[in-house]
Amino acid sequence: MIFDRNEKKEVIALLGAGSMGTAIVRRIAAGKKILLGDISEKNLERVSHDFQYSGYDAETMVVNALEKGSVEAFAEKAAALGDVMYFIDTAGASPNQAKPEHILALDMVGTGYAVDAFGKVMAKGGAGLIISSQTGYMFPIPNEIELEILNTPTEKLMDLPFIRETAMQGSGIAYMIAKRVNHLQAQKAAATTWKERRARINTISPGVIVTPLAYDEFAAAGEGYQKMVDSSAAERCGTSDEIAEAGAFLLGEHAGFITGTDLLIDGGVIASIRTGVYKLQG
């Protein structure tokens, strides 16, 4: 049976086929073409099956977000499918899953590769969304260092003294810095390459969100996360569906005047830290 006879569909590209990214895609994917990219072929098969059996048109591609060429090939395939109107990047590793080098290579440099690659293929009026983290607000970076980061090509980020000397001190610090750099990457792209394509790009910084991968963090540092949640105004964890609602807004027409900015969705954790209600350890 032919479910959809429309041929010229808008394209949604998702890099990192996890629960948060797929939840966002479901909000906007009706009648569109979905291209799923992930390093795990098994994960791609599972997610693609779920989409197809829910009536969505989805294709897959194995992508190594650590490799510039692989990410560029993903962007090129998306463009070959039609007008790329939406790009979502959720690829990343958490502090208890990887060493500092890997976190910075994936969450910072890999994200930069994706922002750069899709900045060459986005259609006019398109929108991008990078999933960052509330931790991007936990490790302030001096203004002069942020300017240096903004003026450094993606492939040279790992060579910066600040990255080599400070970000490499531990996985937690590496993660916080990488997520702050995501904000800067979106700002830079919004003002330059994505602007030239007449496309928008923003970031979302989720707080403690319950996902399958989050359970690794809870198992390793559950007590710390519990104190963080308890100190917040919401006094609970968030869900992928809540992130998806905000993501769909930022990608949609009602957010047409929003680009180069970050939306913090953390239930009030950062507010509790800044006011001293919660004392961030370490």
Catalytic residues: 175, 179
**31 DSSP 8-state letter:** T
Tokens 């995501």 label which residue? 182
Tokens 């629960």 label which residue? 19
Dihedral angle, C-alpha 174, 160, 262, 179, nearest 10 °: -10
Interior/surface letters 183-195, b for 16+ CB within 10 angstroms, e for the rest: bbbbbbbbeebbe
Tally of CB atoms within 10 A around 30? 11
DSSP 122-136: EEEEEEEEEE--GGG
Q: Which residues are 131's β-sheet partners?
A: 204
Dihedral angle, C-alpha 22, 27, 28, 32, nearest 10 °: 60
* Under 8 Å between Cβ of 11 and 32: yes
Dihedral angle, C-alpha 120, 123, 127, 129, nearest 10 °: -40
